[in-house]
Structure 1
């Protein structure tokens, strides 16, 4: 008898039932489990809960009689209801908690991971060759490009350069309120979406589940057909304009030319190989410039793969990293996504985007949300959990390296070479957020002092001993003692506390 195959809610694409090589049997019956306990344990964004459940139920509808779909309190309960003690296979889950669960069950066989380009063994072999060095993205990215023949001309990178970041850091066009890109793909809700929304409303009325944020019409794909439509629209209409302004921010243009494919990739609806290969084909056909395509390929074949691998390679202890000894709790206004309580226009704008959609692109995440949390000294574990819960594309493997390593520098530089934080000048240069703001990006002290500018210098003063030997920060640290208003600035920041800026 063929073993049933268990699909987690982020394993929803055809690759997870392909029936090839080390995957499940092609005709295997399928088990899917909704665990209500998952939503009790954390206060997820309502739009995220809606998307995940809608995607699971859409996949179950596609599979029809092949699937046993169970709604249970826990995964253990659901699996017992579905198969009793009969054998089950499952593709390697994406979180340590889920992997620990399936390995603890005697009747479950764990198959290799799917949905990524690089195997754990290949990454470990690459990492062993860098023992005397830090495991930086650039070296890994080049390895992936070579191994998968992505944007290569023979043994050389297409265009002669591996990294086109220099071409992809343009500020927004002066005076423009939007980038002018064609709109992204938006799905249409159906009866399954209505059923999910009804169930979430009921759970909240019953009082044992609480959400944060708003659940408007679903913005992101919930099945394979929608995900492919989103990919096609991006490649045909938005990829060409993506590169130059990928780090820019406009208050009235949340999506710019970004792909909005991260949630589809992380649900398993899209495979990374098909995304990057189709993007390369667009460049070779002359439909998109190399800098845009390289930037997109770097995000998926570089950064996404790198984060996935570091999550497993660094081990469970990485979660407790706190090199800067930040322990302050997250304030209520932040946890509640209370954008209306915030005066600083950059932070209010980005919090509002998260509140209303569960998404914002990588620069607001890193240089507004993450930078503020870092400057205020908030507990990196709590910040990681917040990003996990509040973003539609947030999963443990995604957010742990991104927040602990990249955003909060809590690992002391194992992943990045410096803390990613800045004063208001960077935000002013790369966005249109500062002009109408009551705070001025060039002011450190006073009623109109930018909270990011003051927070930046306060952060550097607080950690000057820790960062003194960092070559990328030491020169800036040398300027601290030349600030005549530093004592006033430090007192101002002590008085500010953790109220909304």
Structure 2
């Protein structure tokens, strides 16, 4: 073996907190550096359960690796790397800030990304031919063809809406251990010393090890995938999980590699244990949206040029920032916000149509809302939230991600969910004390942004029906008064 090869093998592999699965290592002899930095949790308040999950995952990985791993508790990553005193390498980080930092550390080599199927150079070559019009559906067709995914399992034509099942087996529970107990003690001490968290503490709900994540994935494929398509676009006040996999934090911590999960779903479709619609929906989310968002994060300039395009200048109100669901009377918002407070998670329909939609209607600053999602969700990351919140839900990137803003009134929420029946607000009412905040908010959003949205054919009817100046002034005055209050 040449000296250069020996030198490369001798390097420490620094595993970041979102690189904790086996696919981030090359062999069973590699030395591993893991770093805990309390400073990261002191910078901005994150959800208590997210902090617990990150620390638990780091410590469980160190325990799994045994003598091969060195777990360092340091004020900063730079301190930990300097004290290491030996050459090290790191897999391409998942944020621009982390990558920029890694490139400033002497002796730290940056390896290509892992945990995604599509190569960045391949995506760039495809995107360069699109003349700025990048759509997930187009990328998904390209990627499926390039990687031979679902070629022999045709997608069903159209979608038949069915009531989502109520008897879906719950995922296997997480059993906490001594590592979790130590994490909880440390977080309690940090809080007593002044580090602030949001949300409530609770027994750990999400996998912190590859084995736990694999067990959750296997259970989903065997027991929940078959009903997955029936949960699309549905809100329920009875079951916040429906048939969702709840595996996003496991993929984003690097505990699961997406390609084996995609192939396993394909096998379920071929074997007939899951309908084609469910398999396609799962694969579209994992291999379509997830890959697309990751690639967009690196392909585009980091600034969103249209960040203030939809008159979004209000700061997030305090009740929303601190997850104060008890202050909210609108049932859908109270239910979803309470779920975030208590679990650090909500499914995508709830995120887009209830949480992000509410912020869009009120003109909250898109960057602040994206930061809130990053901090409040156990699966929150820069590369996901930049695109889905700033670009998609808040329509702040001049239609790079989607072709229309994700704005919906109370009537839409009534059609897809079951919260409106017991709510004090009327979903069809625009003005008055009983007016649904989503219905009045939607109309105020249209009035504030009429000129900007005039070219959208899908909003043309909504805009044409709302031209009465007296009604416009009344709606704007009402929603201005309501803007910062919990609804």
Structure 2 length-normalised TM:
0.96
Deviations 1:259-301 (A, max 9, x none): 0111000011101101111011001001000000000000000
- Distance in 2 between the 1:367 and 1:454 partners? 15
CA spacing shift, 1:444–1:172, aligned 2, 3 Å: farther
SS for the counterpart of 2:71 is strand
SS for the counterpart of 2:478 is helix
Q: Does 2:289 align with 1:309?
A: no
- Distance in 1 between the 2:190 and 2:104 partners? 29
SS for the counterpart of 1:473 is helix
Q: Does 2:471 align with 1:456?
A: no
Deviations 1:363-395 (A, max 9, x none): 110000000000010011100100000000001
> In the alignment, is the contact (CA less than 8 A) between 2:306 and 2:398 conserved in 1?
no
The match for 2:154 is: 159
- Distance in 2 between the 1:496 and 1:404 partners? 23
Q: What are the residue-to-residue correspondences of 1:203-242 with 2, within 5 Å?
A: 203-207=190-194, 209-242=195-228
- Distance in 2 between the 1:441 and 1:297 partners? 34
Q: What are the residue-to-residue correspondences of 1:29-40 with 2, within 5 Å?
A: 29-40=31-42
Q: What are the residue-to-residue correspondences of 1:49-88 with 2, within 5 Å?
A: 49-81=51-83, 83-84=84-85, 86-88=86-88
Match of 1:28 among 23, 27, 30: 30
CA spacing shift, 1:233–1:319, aligned 2, 3 Å: farther
> In the alignment, is the contact (CA less than 8 A) between 2:88 and 2:109 conserved in 1?
yes
The match for 1:22 is: none
Deviations 1:204-231 (A, max 9, x none): 1111x11000121111100011000000
The match for 1:134 is: 133
The match for 1:271 is: 257
> In the alignment, is the contact (CA less than 8 A) between 2:155 and 2:277 conserved in 1?
no
Deviations 1:305-338 (A, max 9, x none): 0000111111222388332241111111001100
> In the alignment, is the contact (CA less than 8 A) between 1:417 and 1:472 conserved in 2?
no
The match for 2:4 is: none
Deviations 1:27-54 (A, max 9, x none): 3311110111110111000000001110
Give unpaired runs (5+ residues) of structure 1: 20-25
Deviation at 1:66, TM superposition (A): 0.4
The match for 2:428 is: 442
Deviation at 1:484, TM superposition (A): 6.9
Deviations 1:114-151 (A, max 9, x none): 000111101100101101x5100110001111111111
- Distance in 1 between the 2:34 and 2:155 partners? 47
- Distance in 2 between the 1:483 and 1:45 partners? 44
> In the alignment, is the contact (CA less than 8 A) between 1:88 and 1:107 conserved in 2?
yes
Range with bigger deviation, 490-499 or 262-271: 490-499
The match for 1:23 is: none
- Distance in 1 between the 2:76 and 2:306 partners? 26
CA spacing shift, 1:314–1:343, aligned 2, 3 Å: same
Range with bigger deviation, 195-204 or 407-416: 407-416
Deviation at 1:482, TM superposition (A): 5.4
> In the alignment, is the contact (CA less than 8 A) between 1:87 and 1:108 conserved in 2?
yes
Q: For the aligned residues, what is the CA RMSD?
A: 1.5
